[in-house]
Amino acid sequence: MKKRQVLFLLMIILVLTVSHTYAQCAMCTKTASQLGEKPALGLNNGIIYLMLTPLIIMGVIAFRWWKSEKQNSEGQQ
């Protein structure tokens, strides 16, 4: 049970620290600089949310696969 709590805490920390990163390519940076400060911030947050969605889905799939493999290995012993 303790491993789950540590994993959950790490995921929360990751989500909180990702919101302060900049995820813009060169074209997006140029476009954002022309928009102004607030729209540029919204564009950057949108890029981060789009990046996180597939990563979260892959994480859930990997966790469920790992959990089922763990149960299968315990059942065989």
Looking at residue 30, its amino acid is K
Residue type, 51: M
Average pLDDT over residues 40-63: 86
Residue 48, CA distances (Å) to 22, 41, 63, 71 in order: 8, 11, 22, 34
CA 4 vs CA 11, 52, 77: distances in Å: 10, 20, 23
Output the pTM of the full model. Answer: 0.51
Percentage, residues of the chain above pLDDT 90: 8
> Quick count: other Cβ atoms within 10 Å of Cβ 32?
19
